[in-house]
Amino acid sequence: MNLLTLETTCDETAAAVVNERLEVLGAVVASQDELHRRFGGVVPEIASRAHLERILPVIDETLRRAGVRLSQLDAVAVANTPGLAGSLLVGLVAAKTLAAALEIPLIAVNHLQAHIYACRLASGENVFPCAGLIISGGHTSLYRCLGPLDFQLLGATIDDAAGEAFDKVAAMLGLPYPGGPSIQRAAAGGNPAAYRFPRAFLHDPKRLDFSFSGLKTAVRYTIAGPGRPDLAQVRLEPRQVADLAASFQEAVVDSLLDKAHAALAATGLETLCVGGGVAANARLRQRLEEEAGRSGIRLFVAPLSLCTDNAVMGAIAVERYRAGLFEGLDLDVFPGVVRSKGL
Ligand code: KG4
Ligand code: ZN
């Protein structure tokens, strides 16, 4: 079975061909980082326009790399939730068109479930049931993952996503977009204890939510703010940038680690899977490994190539294919998080 998967939820245009054994025959990710860099974040209209220009060349190149012709495709899958409405629509229309023209089944992919499935794909192990920590530019949430297609929400950010905080704080420090890798680089030479930034809800192990906007404001007011100069007038020394980056990163990592382990304790689950762009963070990966060693839990962190958005993780569609979960051509996009069962 040759399955084509498409991913256009945010600012990556991606496609992959996988088979029923979850082998990747070909995959392409066209990043839009260059287009959004001067704005310090993703501009939705620019993202959807760029998807439109790139989706067909990306599909062509993916098929070429896979050595598979259109006529050899057996199903097409597309991430239709959650994400930016305009971006999601480009992938959805491309997938529907292929499904109709080739007369093959159409399969819906939940992007958040796919981020956790990256752990299943890379490890080759049955990672379920597990606590799933999804940390990206748009989401920071914890799920009880009973199976690849059966997630129950345990907690989520009440304001900014972790990746969004990385991107915004990077902009404050004059570091380029995307902020996560920039902060990680700057933090490598910094002291994580130089500034004491807030860690939300740390005192409350029953609450499995996150909050990063207070942390973001704390960094902002440390640099500039009420009673201090304007941000635009501040010139930070390289040492200050490194210390601020390291202290901010440590606060995010502390929060993520604390709530992930609180979720394991609250649910009795013994496996933790971590996926999403922020899971690429080296300090987070190191601290997760250390903590797992101490507590004895099974830890799966998505490999670097499958942390940021990609279509390979859309191989989760194989699970839906096996379960006979196909969609009609009236399938829609759902930009927000679907909270009901079936997520
Ligand atoms: O999963 P993703 O590609 O897109 C969404 O679904 O949102 O995540 C992108 C986010 C960005 O905010 C980016 O700054 C962050 O992941 N990110 C990182 C790192 N690499 C990417 N954050 C921290 N450290 C990194 N090394
Ligand atoms: Zn994502």
pLDDT tens digits for the chain (343 residues)? 999 999 999 999 999 999 999 999 999 999 999 999 888 888 999 999 999 999 999 999 999 999 999 999 999 999 999 999 999 999 999 999 999 999 999 999 999 999 999 999 999 999 999 999 999 999 999 999 999 999 999 999 999 999 999 999 999 999 999 999 999 999 999 999 999 999 999 989 899 999 999 999 999 999 987 777 788 788 899 999 999 999 999 999 999 999 999 999 999 999 999 999 999 999 999 999 999 999 999 999 999 999 999 999 999 999 999 999 999 999 999 998 866 544 4
The DSSP bridge pattern shows strands 140-147 and 130-135 to be antiparallel
As annotated, the residues of the chain forming the CATH 3.30.420.40 domain(s) are: 2-115+307-322, 126-303
Residue 138 Cβ < 6 Å to ligand 1? yes
Classify domain 2-115+307-322 at the CATH topology level. Nucleotidyltransferase; domain 5 (3.30.420)
Q: To test ligand 1's pocket by mutation, which of 278, 283, 306, 307 has the most ligand atoms within 8 angstroms of CB? A: 278
Q: pLDDT tens-digit profile of 27-36?
A: 999 999 999 9
The CATH number of domain 126-303, selected from 2.60.40.1930, 3.30.420.40, 3.90.470.10, 3.30.2010.10: 3.30.420.40
Residue 314 Cβ < 6 Å to ligand 1? no
In angstroms, the Cα distances linking 73 to 42, 63, 102, 106, 203 are: 32, 9, 8, 11, 52
Q: pLDDT tens-digit profile of 172-220?
A: 999 999 999 999 999 999 999 999 999 999 989 899 999 999 999 999 9
Give pTM, 2 decimals. 0.95
Where are the alpha helices (H) located in the chain, listed in sequence order?
A: 33-37, 44-66, 85-102, 111-123, 162-172, 179-187, 213-223, 238-267, 282-295, 317-322
Closest-lying ligand 1 atom to the alpha carbon of residue 83: 6
Q: pLDDT tens-digit profile of 49-61?
A: 999 999 999 999 9
> Is 114:320 a contact under the CB 8 Å cutoff?
no
Name the nearest CA neighbour of 272 among 145, 138, 118.
145
Overall residue count recorded for the chain in this entry: 343
Residue nearest to atom 10 of ligand 1 (CA): 137
> Is 104:15 a contact under the CB 8 Å cutoff?
no
Tokens encoding 232: 């635009």
Residue 167 Cβ < 6 Å to ligand 1? yes
